[in-house]
Amino acid sequence: MYKTSAEVSAFTSAFLPLVAGNTRDEIVLAPPAVYLAQLHAELKGSNVSASAQTMDSHKEGAFTGETSPAMLVDMGVKYAVIGHSERRQYFGETDETVNAKLKAAIAFGLVPIVCVGELLAEREAGKTTEVLRRQVSVALANVSAAEAATLVIAYEPVWAIGTGKTATPEIAEDAHKVIRTEIATALGVGVAEATRILYGGSVKPDNVTTLMACANIDGALVGGASLDPVSFSKVVNYGA
């Protein structure tokens, strides 16, 4: 929940030239919903796309304050983040609502970016694998391998979000292996190998290269470091 309309424009004006030469990565910005249409228009002709931070699972209805997948598609949005840890923590989203939103996103042709991850207490109790397996399996319930063709999973160790703490590459890689194994169980090895799994937990310019070197980390879901266009461009252009 950052930036005004003018600040969105200032960000895109500064950011787009910095990543214009990047043909390696799929680059996505997820602004507050009220600026999605504006951002989509400002990104036209660039190599950057727009994503919603969340969405409702219904096409329409009496769900005051919500944004439907149909509305996102109508605005030209291509992606939707689903089940972000803050949505789970502050707005009561569950594994089951994540599943409903995932199926809705797929039905409307949106690329779903499904977030999973354990709390600090769960990690300290040795329940990381259990939590990740549950979150992934419930999210993918009644989803076919064909439907999951565009699926993106983002691993967010909740204890590393906004705290300055970052999972070591080894911790992140182990979690990503668990997630990929669970995808294979649910949808088959082929889908698991093709699914991009992002790491999201205090990713910054000074740690992104080491994280991206891990075999099972396919990208990053960037929080605080994405608020500044120069900082975020350094994350996007790592290794260049």
Reported as a single tens digit per residue, the pLDDT across 197-229 is 999 988 999 999 999 999 999 999 999 999 999
pLDDT at 85: 95
Query: DSSP state, 99?
Result: H
The answer to whether 158 and 118 are in contact (CB under 8 A) is: yes
Domain count across the chain: 1
pLDDT at 162: 66
Please identify which of the residues 42, 93, 118, 156 carries the catalytic annotation.
156
Which helix or strand (DSSP H or E) is residue 82 part of? strand 79-82
pLDDT at 201: 87
pLDDT at 167: 84
Query: What is the CATH number for 187?
Result: 3.20.20.70
Mean pLDDT score, 74-86: 97
In terms of phi and psi (left: phi > 0; alpha: psi -120 to 50; beta: otherwise), the region of 11 is alpha
| Residue 231 belongs to domain spanning | 5-236
pLDDT tens readout for residues 151-205? 999 999 998 776 667 789 999 999 999 999 999 999 999 999 999 999 998 899 9
Place of tokens 């668990």: 178
Query: DSSP state, 141?
Result: T
pLDDT tens readout for residues 20-62? 999 999 999 999 999 999 999 999 999 999 999 999 999 999 9
Counting every residue written for the chain, the total comes to 240
40 carries an active-site annotation: no
CA torsion, ordered 83, 86, 91, 97, to nearest 10 deg:
10
pLDDT at 161: 74
Please identify which of the residues 40, 42, 84, 176 carries the catalytic annotation.
84
pLDDT at 160: 79
193 carries an active-site annotation: no
pLDDT at 154: 98
